[in-house]
Amino acid sequence: MNMEKTAEVYSEIAKVIAAHESFIIMSHVRPDGDAIGSQLALGFSLKAMGKTVYLVNEDGVPESLEFMKGSEVVTQPPSEPVDADVAIAVDTATKPRLGENSLVAAGKAKVWINIDHHISNPCYGDVNLIDGTKPATGQILYELIKALEMPIPEETRDAIYVAVSTDTGSFQYGSTTAETYEMGADLIRQGLDVGKINADTYDNHPYRRLELMRALLNTLDISADGQLAHWELLHQTQVDLKLQPDDSEGLIDLIRGVRGVRVAVFFEELDGGKIRVSMRSKDKGVNVCEVALQFGGGGHALAAGIRMPGPMVEAKAKVLAALGESMAGGN
């Protein structure tokens, strides 16, 4: 989005905020740090303006993010629509990824705002602030909140940091920009405790996560040329180890980190038999979002995902074949 277009969308959002009192803010199912962080960041800023804000997530706040200030106000959707005039979706590439119950909860909204950094987002809002060049939705929100001179209470400050830190692999990925670091500096000047927030985010795992790692390592497989590595998690293993959905968050980075690997894939069998596929590319020549789109998924060029029918062996065969083709073509 160019600067003029961004300024135009900012002013549309400012008008919607000024003209309404009640908001429901949602994000995608199986929320990550950028999803919950973006909800909290915008939610607490609007609350500080005196607005009524409902923070709803289909799956609630994962245990690993419960440390976030204010996260207790994010609830699973009630069965009835809430009294909110404006629905805001953050970090969510497609409307159905908000979840069926969240969509019911937002049923009374007259205006939809869609704020996201997924290039595959089809702009399903009445107002759409979509910027695929930003490393996290949290950074889009930081820039919006600054531009509109909205308040930045502690919850918003910390949530922005967690959102951007988790979506950039701790400010490491190529999507990280000078603006990202400038934002970090600004948040620290505003009182953010870097040591504590990073310890809470990254050094606070349940023991079962290591047991999960051990189980995954037992399924590790790599193509003959050493470029395509993958592992799988069966539903039975999740039951045996009493896993929570977010226990596997970020583990795919272990196989992506192997020298020579261009693409890493994580196959997970969900309750009910569907397969969740998580893909990471280390090679700009291999766009995993394009592969995801072939199977109804989406995401970013270097990090994308799919929910597809099982059984595991078939899903694996199809996705690995498509990836093999994409890697051979170098497209």
Does residue number 246 form part of the binding site for Mn ion (CB under 5 A)?
no
Does residue number 300 form part of the binding site for ligand 5GP (CB under 6 A)?
yes
Residue 22 has φ and ψ, to the nearest 5°, of -130, 135
- For 17, the token pair is 């905020």
Closest CB to ligand 5GP: residue number:
305
Q: x/- contact string, 34-73, with ligand 5GP (CB under 6 A)?
A: ----------------------------------------
Cα–Cα–Cα angle for 162, 168, 171, rounded to 5 degrees: 85
Strand order in the sheet with 298-299: 221-222, 228-233, 263-269, 275-281, 303-308, 298-299
Q: Which is nearer to Mn ion, 91 or 268 (CB)?
A: 91
> 263, exposed or middle or buried, with CB in 10 Å at 0-12, 13-18, 19+?
buried
CA distances from 182 to 96, 110, 161, 179, 288 (A): 34, 36, 12, 5, 29
Q: Which is nearer to ligand 5GP, 51 or 274 (CB)?
A: 274
Q: Which residues contact 235 (CB under 8 A, 6 or more apart)?
A: 269, 270, 271, 273
HSE of 52, CA atoms in CB hemisphere, 13 A: 9
Does residue number 134 form part of the binding site for ligand 5GP (CB under 6 A)?
no
Q: Which is nearer to ligand 5GP, 94 or 244 (CB)?
A: 94
Site for Mn ion in 122-141 (CB under 5 A): 137
- For 92, the token pair is 């969510």
Which range, of 179-187, 219-227, 254-262, 301-309, touches ligand 5GP by CB under 6 A?
A: 301-309
Does residue number 22 form part of the binding site for ligand 5GP (CB under 6 A)?
no
Shortest distance, CB of residue 59 to ligand 5GP, whole angstroms?
Answer: 13
Site for Mn ion in 81-120 (CB under 5 A): 91
Q: According to CB under 5 A, which one of 58, 155, 167, 247 is a site residue for Mn ion?
A: 167
- Judged by beta carbon distances under 5 to 8 A according to partner kind, the member of ligand 5GP, Mn ion, none in contact with residue 229 is none
> 62, exposed or middle or buried, with CB in 10 Å at 0-12, 13-18, 19+?
buried
Per residue in 3-34, is it b (16+ CB within 10 Å) or e — as a string? eeebeebbebbeebbeebebbbbbbbbbbbbb
- For 140, the token pair is 């889009």
Does residue number 135 form part of the binding site for ligand 5GP (CB under 6 A)?
no
Does residue number 268 form part of the binding site for Mn ion (CB under 5 A)?
no
Does residue number 163 form part of the binding site for ligand 5GP (CB under 6 A)?
no
Shortest distance, CB of residue 249 to Mn ion, whole angstroms?
Answer: 13
- Among 44, 56, 53, which residue's Cα sits nearest to residue 22? 53
Question: Helix, strand, or coil here: 242?
Answer: coil
Which range, of 14-22, 90-98, 255-263, 320-328, touches ligand 5GP by CB under 6 A?
A: 90-98
- Judged by beta carbon distances under 5 to 8 A according to partner kind, the member of Mn ion, ligand 5GP, none in contact with residue 34 is Mn ion
Note the residues at the interface with Mn ion (CB under 5 A): 34, 91, 137, 167
Note the residues at the interface with ligand 5GP (CB under 6 A): 93-94, 97, 118, 278, 297-300, 303-307
